[in-house]
Structures are given as structure tokens and as C-alpha cells.
Structure 1
Amino acid sequence: MLADRKVRGIVCFVAIAFGLAWLVALPLWLGDGLFDARFGTVALAVMSTPAMAALLMVFIIERPQGKARALGLWPLRPVGRLFVYLGLGLVVPVALVLVALPVGDVLGVYPGDFKTFSAFRMILNGQLLAAGQVELPLPIETLVALQFVNVLIGAFINLVPALGEELGWRGWMLPRLMVYGPVKAIVISGVIWGAWHAPLVLLGYNYPMAPGWLGVLLMIGMCTLVGAVFGWLRLRSQSVWPAALAHGAFNAAAGFHLVFASAGAPVNTTHGTILGWSGWIVPLVLVVVLVATKQFRHAAAPQLPSQESAEAPASDR
């Protein structure tokens, strides 16, 4: 009986999140797709749909007493543990994005230039030409180093839109899936998160050189591995905030493949970068280590709303 209620809740949440994502993305399908002037706004709106679904579950459908706790927004303690995982959320995703580039270069699927940064130099020269300037204002190495500062700033700027996803996937859904065990929870949540990207991926987003169906499959693979890392941060910290910051940092670092590429060589995300299969090698090793060392062992599936109402602390009501 309780298991049936859990399954129904998850199915309801997924149906709402997917339905809203397709509904919000519909103007792009009826318009110019990725070239639609509204693309940026629509993409941000799509990112908010898992949070909308989670809020509907918490405030209208399930209505637990500890609403903030049910979403992973509260409590923010112990503070020391929270800050440790916030720090890991800021560093680990960026490291995974970066390490994917030399791995892809060694395997011959990413055209890396880690010495002269020729692609980045070409991009900057184009921007300077458009602005009527001739020379770079700083040495190229300094400009590359500044990109790391931009990623740090971008991680916090991206925190709000990233929370639009994490509030649903890791905040609400993942802890409920943990009743099936960590490996199954990782795989199920990763498949769901990856498939949810279909409205944009089928238009050619993220994988422009792959057919739509392959892009969706690749997104599912990437989301399963990266989502496991985000899930580890959420479950170990017992808070959605480290996962949201990690997601923000991951998105902010996504452009690094342009910084370290060779000029004139196309980057095929089907094979290279963190999006492609070569970029999954290191995250896969990390996830295997996390599972083998039982890093998910303290995570417990949340109680059903009827149980939470009797046990939620007064500070969370």
C-alpha cells in the first residue's frame, strides 16, 4: 500500500514535469527552433518545470507538514557539513568538465589546444574586430585564467535557474527513489532527468551533430552519471543547495570546451566534452567509487505525507 503510494507520487511528479516542459517548449517547435528569438527565455522557463512539479506535489497533491524539508530546502544544519558539500559542489562538477577535455584529446575525439588556446584566441579576435579593436588587452594566458573566475561567478548566478531543476530531481524525487537502493535510484533518476531534456535536445540542442534520438540517449547517459554526483551531494548533505550549486557550476563551466579547442576544428559533443562518451569515463569511475564506498548509505527515503504530518518539527511547519 505504502509502496503503491510512493510510486503513484513519483509517476504524478514525472508526468507533470514532462508535460510542463513540452508545453513551455512548444513555441520553439511552432517557431524557428534553436534560432527562435525566444529560445533563451523559453530554455530558462523549461528549467523551472521540475520545480513547478515539485511545488505542486508538496503544496497541492501531497501537502506534507514539513514542506521545506520535503524539498530539501531545510534544515541548513549542521552548518559545517553543509559548507563542505557546498564547496565540493563548486569544485567537483568543474573538475569533471575540465578533465573530460584532455581525455577526449588523448582518445582523438576532442581537438584540444592546451598551449596556444587557438580557438579561444580566434573567438576573442573576432569580438575585438567587431568592436573596432586590434590587439588583445591582456596575454591570452591571463584571459584563460579569468575564465575560471567567470565560472565561479557564473555558478552563483546560475544557482537560481539550476534550483528550478534540482528542487524537483534531487530535492523531491531522488530521496523517494532511495527506497529501491542507491544504484537503482541513480539509474532511474538519471534516465528521467535525461529524457526530460528531449523537447530541446530533439531540436538539436547540446548535440547538433547527432540525430535527435541519439542526442536524447546521450543526454540520458550523461545525466545518469553527472546526476549521480549531484545526488551524492544532495543525499550526503541532506540538502538540495549543494546539488543546485553544483548544477550552476556545471552549466557555467560548459563553455570550457571552446577555450581549450583548436581553431577551425569542429567539436563533436557526441564523442567529446563532458556531453560525449569520452567525457563519461572519469565520472563513471567516481560514481563507482562512491557506490563501492557506500557514500549513499545515510540517505533514507522520506516518509509519506501522512507520516510526516505527525513527525515534522515545529520549526519546519
Structure 2
Amino acid sequence: MTADRSPFALSLSVFLLLSFGLSWLLALPLWLGDGLEDPLFYPIAVAMMGTPAIAALVVVFFVERPPQRARSLALWPLTPAGRLIGYLALALVVPILLILVALPVGALLGVYPADFAHLSGFQELIDAGVAELGIPIPDIPIGVLLAFQFVNVIIGAFLNLIPALGEELGWRGWLLPRLYRFGAAPALLISGIIWGLWHAPVILLGYNYPDAPGWLGLLMMVGMCVIIGAVFGWLRMRSASVWPAALAHSSFNAAAGFHLVFAQAGQTVNTVHASILGWSGWIVPILLVAVLWATGQFRPAPVEPERPEPHKELE
């Protein structure tokens, strides 16, 4: 045990130093400039998503140096195909459903100002966008625009797969399975806490929780990352691949703005209490994680052994 833990401690230290250090370094212009209003915010945020992947690649290539690096990060193999495709389908759908179901739960608890019937908040967003563009657009029924929104989320889930992989290669590709040596529950908890704290450079500036003080926003982000990270972890460990976790992360990001679509016009959504970011939105994911745990769905799936190349006969 002692001989095994020392290299892991070194790998973990390098991974955390690089992922957190690079993230803060990239976010530094936001802290020295206009914060979330900085025109470089979105390029910087996308670049930050790549820092866990950089950290994982450095550890794998220069610290651990396993013989099969792609396998070590769960990028390969893509078999059995049926299992992988099944978990990819779940990865696309489950995050969207969790985000959507959080809204009626929040409405029932009185913390989400919903307008499911008339979509007045969505109409308000559309009108503001048209006014900003300054050009007339055809009068399209709000229901059709809502359908387009769902299509955009599906398309966005695939378009943003590579940036999401930048995070998942680190969190669920490298970190989570290494932490499984301490047990499934500690691994999911610790990896979720690390994932949440990694967001500190932008959360402390008001990202995701604009109505909360920085410490509370970061605390809420950690809570959300532990719960949603467990869902992503289930997809990762049962598929034996990082790709479903990456697609789930991308799908989650693409659908995260649905709380603006179904809100009442003129109302502010406090994300500490409402949406998937707030405590009311965690209720259904916690129940899902509990069911998955009770049914043994956090046990790692078997990984297909590498097939040796056939020996060629001498001519």
C-alpha cells in the first residue's frame, strides 16, 4: 500500500497544481479587467475548460507513463459498441431531463417564477434580441421557437463536445478512476468537490450565482458539482469510457439556460434556490443517484483486454 500511494500522491499533486494553476492564470485578465463583462470572457472560459485535460495529459505522459495512454484516460477502446452507444444516448438525454424537471420542482416549492403556459420570459428574451439586432424577423409562433430551442440544445451538445472533453478528460477520465482506490463514495465525493472548487476563478466573479456573495456561490457550485458529477461518474464508470461523460457535460451546458426560457417575464431567477444550480434543482438528481447506488450502478464496468497483434510467419 505504501509503495502504491507515493506515486499516486505525486500524480495527484501535479494534476491539481496544473489544472487549478492554469485555470487561475487564464482567468487573471478577468480579475484585472472587467470581470464577467470583459469581451474576452467567453474565449477565456472555453480555454479554461481545457486545463484539466492538459493536467491529465502531462501526468499520463510524464509522470505515470503507462504503456497504453489512450486506455489510461478511457479514450479507448470504443467497444463493446452496443454498451457505448447506449450510454452515449443516456448521456445526451439524462442531463436535459434533469435540468427540465428542476423547473416544475422549483415552481412547486415557490422558488422558481415559472410561466409554462405563455412562455412570457422566453418571449421577452426574443423581443430583446430582435431589438438589439434592429432588423425585422418573421412572426413565428412561440411554440415553434421553443421547438427550435430544443433542437439547438441537441446540436449544441455535439458541437461543444470537444470543450467538454477538455474538462472530462481530467475529472472523469483521469481523476475519478484513480480515486476509486478509496471506494466509490469517497471517489465521487472528492472528485465532485475538486471539480466545484476548480470553478472558483469565475464563480467568485459572480458567474452562475450573480445574486449570491462569492463564498455562497462557490459553496453552491461545489454542491451542484458533487451531485451532477456523480451522474457523470455513473456514465463514465459503467461505460468504461470518458466519451459518455464528455457528452453529458456538453449536453448539460447546452441545456443549462432553460430556466430563462420557462420563467415569467420581468422576474429574476435566483439560482441559489432555483434551476439545476440551486438546491431545489438537486432533489431529483439526488434521488437518481440514490437509485443508481442502491442498484449497484457505480461498480466499474469491465474493460475489454487489449487484443495482441497476430504473429506474422517468417517467409
Q: Tell me the TM-score normalised to structure 2 length.
A: 0.93
CA spacing shift, 1:18–1:163, aligned 2, 3 Å: same
Q: 2:273 aligns with which of 247, 253, 271?
A: 271
Q: Secondary structure at the match of 2:124?
A: helix
Q: Find the aligned partners of 1:88 and 1:253 in 2 and give their Cα distance.
A: 15
Q: 123-132 vs 139-148, which deviates more?
A: 123-132
Change (3 A) 1:199 1:314: farther
**Aligned-residue offset at 1:12:** 2.2
Q: Distance in 2 between matches of 1:36 and 1:296?
A: 41
Residues 235/204 of structure 1: CA separation in 2 closer, same or farther (3 Å cut): same
The equivalent of 2:298 in structure 1 is 296
Q: 2:41 aligns with which of 25, 39, 42?
A: 39
Cα 1:3–1:313 shift into 2, 3 Å: farther
Measured at CA, do residues 313 and 33 of structure 1 come closer, stay the same or move farther in structure 2, by a change above 3 Å?
Answer: farther
Q: 2:181 aligns with which of 172, 179, 182?
A: 179
How is 1:81-120 mapped onto 2 (pairs within 5 angstroms)?
81-120=83-122
Alignment correspondent of 1:142: 144
Q: Structure 2: which amino acid aligns with 1:142?
A: V
**Aligned partners of 2:239 and 2:301 also within 8 Å:** no
Q: CA deviation at 1:223?
A: 0.3
Q: Determine which of 62, 65, 76 is the counterpart of 1:63.
A: 65
Partner of 2:81: 79
SS at match of 1:149: helix
User: What's the C-alpha RMSD, in Å, of the aligned pairs?
Assistant: 1.6
Flag the 1:314–1:65 CA change in 2: closer, same or farther, 3 A. farther
Kindly state the Cα deviation for residue 296 of structure 1 after the two structures are TM-superposed: 1.4
Q: Name the % identity.
A: 61
8 Å CA contact 1:66, 1:312 repeated in 2 = no
1:67 partner amino acid: R
Q: 1:196 to 1:122 in 2, by over 3 A?
A: same
Deviation of residue 114 (structure 1)?
Answer: 0.3
The TM-score normalised by the length of structure 1 is 0.93
Residue 231 of structure 2 aligns with which residue? Answer: 229
Q: Which amino acid aligns with 1:225?
A: I
Deviation >6 Å, runs of 4+: none
Return the alpha-carbon distance in structure 2 between the equivalents of residues 86 and 253 of structure 1: 16
1:17 and 2:19 are equivalent in the alignment? yes
> Is the Cα–Cα contact under 8 Å of residues 20 and 198 in structure 2 kept in the other structure?
yes
Q: Does 1:159 align with 2:158?
A: no
Distance 1:130 1:275 in 2: 28
Listed one character per residue, the Cα deviations across residues 112-168 of structure 1 (whole Å, up to 9, x for unaligned) are 110000010011122223444567532111111111100000000110100010000
CA contact (8 A) 2:30 2:38 kept: yes
Query: How far apart are the structure 2 equivalents of 1:107 and 1:3?
Result: 46
Distance 1:9 1:273 in 2: 36
* Structure 1 residue 100 displacement after superposition: 0.6
The runs of 5 or more residues in structure 2 that have no matched partner are 310-315
Per the alignment, residue 305 of structure 1 pairs with: none
Higher relative contact order (CA 8 A, sep 6+): 1
Corresponding letter in the other structure for 1:186: L
Q: Name the CA distance, whole Å, in 2 between partners of 1:97 and 1:136.
A: 30
**Runs of 5+ consecutive residues of structure 1 not aligned to the other structure:** 303-310
CA shift digits 1:228-256 (9 cap, x unpaired): 01111011000000000000000000111
Equivalent residue, structure 1, for 2:312? none
